[in-house]
Amino acid sequence: MIEAIRARVAEKLKELDGVIGLRRSPEGVAPYLFHTEEELAELVLEPRYPMSSVVRLLQKRHPAARFGVVARGCDVRALVEMAKRNQVDPERLYIIGFTCTAEEAEACHCADPAPNVTGWPQAEVIGTPVAAGSPNPMVAEYAQMPRAERWAFWQQQFKKCIKCYGCRNICPVCFCESCALEDPLWVEPGVMAPPFPMYHMIKAMHMSNRCVACRQCELTCPAHIPLTVLYDLIRQDVENLMGYVPGADLEALPPVPLTLADAPIDLDVE
Amino acid sequence: MVASHVLTGKERGAKIIVIDPREIQMSRLADIYLRPWPGTDVAWLNGIMNVIINEGLADTAFVEERTEGFDELRQVVMEYPPEKVEQIAGIPADGLRAAARMYAQTKPAAILYAMGITQHTTGTDNVKTCANLAMLTGNVGVPGSGVNPLRGQNNVQGACDLGGLPNVYPGYQVVTIPDVKAKYEAAWGVEGMSGKLGLTVTEMIEAADKGDVRAIYVMGENPMLSDPDLNHARHCLEALDFLVVQDIFMTETAALADVVLPGASYLEKDGTFTNTDRRIQRVRKAVEAPGQAKADWEIICDLARAMGAPGFEFASPAAVMEEVVVTTPIYGGVSYDRLEAVEGLQWPVPTADHPGTPYLHKGKFSRGVGKFNPVQYQAAAELPDEEYPLILTTGRMMFHFHTGTMTRRTEKLEQEAPEPYVEIHPDDAQRIGLNGGKRVRVSSRRGAIEVAVRVTSTIRPGVVFIPFHYVEGPANALTHAALDPIAGIPEFKVCAVRVEPV
Amino acid sequence: MDYKNVRTTCIYCGCGCTLNVQVADGEVVGILPCPEHPISRGSLCIKGWNAAEFATHPDRLRVPLIRREGGFEEASWEEALALVAERLGAIRDDSGPDSIGFFTSAKCTNEENYLLQKLARAVIKTNNVDHCARL
Ligand code: SF4
Ligand code: SF4
């Protein structure tokens, strides 16, 4: 697989201003902008980094450049959601998608371990899709709990939060310059653990129509809070009630308006 | 991030005991939380050992095989039954018993502490007492056990390892031993080095006042906010004939200097740091320094050249490390090539093929058998009285680092915690008559500051807390410069203050 | 048009978490955690996540400064270092090596700490070397 990807990236480098991927240098693995074929011996696929955020950053810095990106399924879903919110320009991004392995799909409880590039102007996928991973058992366990217990469960979990903002910073679909989590109107600053449930509720509501189930928030949480249990349930609700699956379709508009102009009610906005 | 590993432990079934005058976040997740008076650590630690010995919970095999001095220890701790400890430390006797049982019966058990144990006039005694407790229960030299000091500043460990101390060369080789001095004179190609102990930071500042020290060269420190009894420290530094400060910002200390040299930040230079678990890790240059600023290592080499001194012709920090390893046995096997690995290297790493040492005292103590050093409780140097009825304890908070030179210039951190404050218990607040007032004046025998007030039951009644990061409300204007007689560490954790509404 | 990550160690506490410093065209543009590192394991605290911002603060010192009548004046490196060398030399000759003290730093690198104590011990010949470990 990796050889096939390297060959395709080498090909694409000829026409693009660079390809974003993971590079293993002597220091270790991290995102990198590849320019030459020689560097591609160092292209790798693991561990996970928020590739869509790197794409956004580089596209903003270089408004005319055309980049490529080596992306797994959740990276592509994140790019799709970012594109809908004008944070990534699909016209200037070539996606070289690759399928996750069965082990990876299982470890992530991933429902959709292959990139879905339908509708993306220029893209290809390398590899054969594997079956979905089994669902996260904690979600089912949680769903069994009576309401009062659920509250107590989250109360206990969020007591551990050290307000690192890591779950937000790593999120591949978070991008606002001014974040409600840092607005003293909503969340009292400097309190540790951050006020329950406001801090986490705001985050969850803002994720409701865009969480792409990449699990990076949970992986980066120093307090080991099972954040994706919360987000999986919200995703289920949004899918069941509104028929929306984030990242699945570049054309589908999110059920929650993206701008005030889209709002289905009359707003007296000056 | 150490706490994150503690949480991993808890998820795997480990028990957590928190003993802290302030109800910290970890205490809400703890199995047992006890709240002593600041400055009574020896008393309650002895009390825990009293229970362990009396209830037959000591690891007798370990004590017999690997330690000496048990009888002396027993004698001392027998003077600390839990009821007496309750009188001294304010910890309920039953709580202390429960903690003692849990600690002794759970194997392995680790003791983790930070400055709460060390910043006392009895800091050395406190550390010895922790070591006694670990040895008594056989919690030494096994993974997951031991006495684990958590260091506040990122490279305190490295600064000590590399000889930034008045009594030792790099690798803790004592300056007063003639052979060691001779070894360094040979290595550095000089003669006539000093064989006497040098002065500590606090002693140098004191000596400046008397005129015995006339010049001080400061690299990246800010004693004008971090030292105890600031008014006095300022007076002393002003008495100097010559003060040089090398830093990245115009700190409170740099503002007093005769010459200020612009250094590079960690993002602008190469090097290594050694973290709290003795792990040597790389610092890598990411960008160029602003303006004419230069890396501190370059500045020192340039200065040596200006003084006409040979031995500082280094092309890079890697070359400096090559010289370090020759004379520093604990770093003997370190090289930048080996440090490429993400996990770094944990010293002692004596040779190039040695894998490093994840934990110390495995199978054997450095000195052979472990010696119990029993100590008696001694009260803090300054206790509350009628005039100054509350105990002030100082410390850090999550959002800022040390004197705030860097974090207070970071918007995302400053917006979380923009101003100094004092934490006070509701009972004390009521007694003082704060009546919802937002600001208070806190004074001690050394100075007074005005800060915001936070009324909270997470602090013990009778105790107030102020973080020391803020120049506009410097906690160290109040603190007491009384020192631990051995370590020379000031008693930042206990002094007497008065709080009044303004 | 360059983008890379430079792996380094956090400066804000003794945990020593690994940081991936994102650098684009010679400018720091952000920080990412490092999943491969055994201590930080892909996590950081709020200080680590924000450990780059201060470095580009306008207050950064950019030139050597010498105090003269009426305050600090900018100076060249040659001038500043010559002055330091001369004054330290004079004070040592006058009042002996132990009349000079050195504060090394818990925030500087191992190599820098080594060099400064070497300067104190081998050039000035005093053991008056310490840092704020106790503070
Ligand atoms: S990553 Fe975890 S600890 Fe950090 S803010 Fe999010 S929930 Fe809290
Ligand atoms: S990220 Fe936080 S816990 Fe980690 S070294 Fe930096 S300050 Fe310490």
Going residue by residue through chain C, which has 135 residues, state the pLDDT in tens, using 9 for 90 and above.
Answer: 999 999 999 988 878 899 999 999 999 999 999 998 888 889 999 999 999 988 888 999 999 999 998 899 999 999 999 999 999 999 999 999 999 999 998 889 999 999 999 999 999 999 999 987 665
Quick one: tokens of B407? 């974090």
Same domain flag for C111 and C121: yes
Q: Residues C48, C8: one domain?
A: yes
Range of the structural domain that residue C67 is part of: 61-95
**Separation CA A135–CA A139 (nearest Å):** 8
Please tell me whether residues A18 and A51 are part of one structural domain: yes
Residue of chain A whose alpha carbon sits nearest to that of C50? A164
Verify whether the Cβ–Cβ distance A163 to B398 is below 8 Å.
yes
Query: Cβ of B256: how many Cβ atoms within 10 Å?
Result: 18
Give yes or no for residue A223 having a pLDDT over 80. yes
Give SS3 for B324.
helix
Q: Are C78 and B303 in contact (CB under 8 A)?
A: no
- Which atom of ligand 2 sits closest to the CA of residue C16? 5
- Chain centre to alpha carbon of residue B194: 28
Residues A117 and A28 in one domain: yes
Q: Is the pLDDT of residue A229 over 80?
A: yes
Tokens 């100590």 correspond to what residue? Answer: B375
CATH number assigned to the domain comprising residue C15: 2.20.25.90
Nearest Cα residue to C131 out of B155, B407, B302, B481 = B155
- DSSP line for B55-99: TT-S-HHHHHHHEE-HHHHHHHHTT--HHHHHHHH---HHHHHHH
**Size (chain B), residues:** 502
CATH number for B2-150: choose from 2.30.40.10, 3.40.228.10, 3.40.50.11810, 1.10.645.10.
3.40.228.10
> Of B412, B411, B415, B398, nearest to B469 (Cα)?
B398
Domain B156-346, CATH class in plain words: alpha beta
Exposure string of A108-117, with b = 16+ CB inside 10 Å and e = fewer, is bbbebbbbbb
Q: Which ligand is nearest to the CA of A154?
A: 1
d(CA A117, CA A135) in angstroms, rounded, equals: 23
Q: Is residue A167 one of the residues assigned to a domain?
A: yes
Interface test with C, best of B190, B267, B403 (most C CBs within 10 A): B267
| Residues facing B490 on adjacent strands | B483
Assess contact for B489 and B115: CB atoms under 8 A: no
Ligand 1 pocket mutation pick from A155, A159, A160, A167 by most atoms within 8 angstroms of CB: A167
Euclidean distance between CA atoms B41 and B442, whole angstroms: 25
In chain B, domain spans: 2-150, 156-346, 390-501
For residue B1, the CA-to-ligand 2 centroid distance in Å is 6
Residues A14 and A111 in one domain: yes
Domain count, chain A: 2
Task: Find the angle CA(B450)-CA(B452)-CA(B456) to the nearest 5 degrees.
Answer: 130
Ligand 1 neighbour A171 (Cβ under 6 A): no
Tokens of B240: 């100097």
Q: How confident is the model at residue A270 (pLDDT cuts 50, 70, 90)?
A: very low
Mean pLDDT per 10-residue section of chain B, whose length is 502 residues: 79 88 84 90 91 90 88 91 91 91 88 82 85 88 78 80 89 90 92 91 89 93 78 88 94 92 95 89 93 95 94 93 90 87 84 79 72 88 89 84 81 85 91 80 90 89 89 84 78 88 86
Domain shared by C52 and C14, yes or no: yes
Say yes or no: A61 and A150 in one domain.
no
Same domain, A32 and A96: yes
If we measure between CA atoms, which residue out of B452, B471, B465, B466 comes closest to residue B403?
B471
Q: Which residue has the higher pLDDT, C40 or A40?
A: A40
For chain C, what is the domain count?
Answer: 3
Asked if A182 lies within 8 A of B412 by C-beta distance, the reply is yes
Q: List the single residue in B with minimal CA-CA distance to C59.
A: B249
One-letter amino acid for residue A84 of the chain: K
Q: Which two tokens stand for residue C130?
A: 């310490």
- For residue B5 the two structure tokens come to 């590993």
Structure tokens at B153: 């500043």
Q: Which residues of A touch B416 (CB under 8 A)?
A: 163, 189-190
Residues C44 and C73 in one domain: no
Average pLDDT for residues A28-46, to the nearest whole number?
95
Six token digits for residue B283:
């610092």
C51 and C12 in a common domain: yes
Return the partners of chain B (3 or more C-beta pairs < 8 Å). Answer: A, C
The mean pLDDT of A49-69, rounded to a whole number, is 95
C76 and C110 belong to one structural domain: no
Determine the structural domain holding residue A154 and report its residue range: 137-242
> A109 with A181, same domain?
no
Contact in structure between A61 and C24 (CB atoms under 8 Å): yes
Kindly list the residues from chain C whose CB atom is less than 8 angstroms away from the CB atom of residue B293.
Answer: 60-62
Contact B156 C14 (CB under 8 A): yes
Q: Which CATH number fits domain B390-501: 2.40.40.20, 3.20.20.70, 3.30.70.20, 3.30.360.10?
A: 2.40.40.20
